[in-house]
Copies of this chain bind each other. A is one copy, B any other.
């Protein structure tokens, strides 16, 4: 990351800032060094970020148009929504055009690359604005196993589903590890994580034959750290995205896993697939690792969003009892407790069976 490159974001989320699809917007506001100076969503214009998304500690204004955002001196427009399938909603084109004309950098995590759009790239060349597609994949590289023996102990968050808090858990645990004096680093694997960290690999956009190789390359580049917290993706039983999950699991070659689950979720969102009981999910992830590079689940990061404190405590205790593992909500209760409970399991490298 280059300190000189700090951005001031206007985040585009028309009609969707309070929806789950705005997780890119929420993640960047919560965790990125780049500042968010305004959010564009006519549905909530006149209010502030923390008024409509209470867990975001930001008083950035929400405005109805790009023109109203410009007085806050943004340097970039971030497409803040990550729709499934990753296509640009057609009625958003005018917003992008307007931002390009205003010479803002365009930052997008969509599958549909804005830089490949002739109209956008032509307009950007004309105005002198840049287009940054966060999901641009790295050059194809075949996994070769070299990442399995980096110095760093690699900790991967794995999930019961998409959008349950894997990125947040990885970020919070990185912070806790740093506070304990470790050289701990967060490795981003999705568009939001990349927007936050300023670098990473968009795993879901890689060609499937090269998915594991791309993740391995990411680990190799940061292999001199003490601890690498790799952002997980999807879920091993996700009918649409499990390929991403498994490619990431073998590519990262973790020494330990942290299982992330949303306490209130019983089925894979949008697909109706039942989520396995946590002990079975733990066993499944561990069995997948067993022959390739053994890794145990070190703890459960339980996302208790939507529960009151008493219900959250019950859910955390139950998950811990069922799995015989440390469990906590790293947002509600902070990451230090779970990190300390898991730390003994982060002390050693595991070895691939050869």
| A residues adjacent to B (C-beta < 8 A) | 84-86, 111, 140, 142-145, 203-209, 211-213, 236-247, 250, 253, 271-276, 280, 284, 287-288, 290-293, 352-354
Contacts and interface: CB of A to CB of B under 8 A. Distances in A.
A337 B280 CA distance: 36
A278 B85 CA distance: 37
15 contacts: A85-B140, A143-B240, A145-B239, A205-B207, A205-B208, A205-B209, A206-B208, A208-B211, A209-B241, A212-B240, A239-B253, A240-B250, A243-B244, A273-B352, A280-B287
Nearest to A354: B272
Nearest to A238: B250
Given A246-B246, A287-B287, A352-B273, A239 B292 contact: yes
A247 B237 contact: no
Given A140-B111, A274-B353, A208 B287 contact: no
A348 to B, nearest CB: 20
Given A85-B142, A111-B209, A205-B208, A237 B288 contact: yes
Contacts of A250: 238-240, 242-243
B111 A271 contact: no
A287 to B, nearest CB: 6
Nearest to A85: B142
A213 B354 CA distance: 35
B209 A86 contact: yes
- Listed residue (A212, A242, A243, A276) with the most chain B CB atoms within 10 angstroms of its CB: A243
A144 B212 CA distance: 25
B237 A242 contact: no
Contacts of A244: 208-209, 243
A276 B274 CA distance: 27
B239 A247 contact: no
Nearest to A140: B111
Contact of A291 (B209, B241, B276): B276
Nearest to A137: B207
Nearest to A253: B239
A143 B207 CA distance: 16
A46 B273 CA distance: 58
A213 B237 contact: no
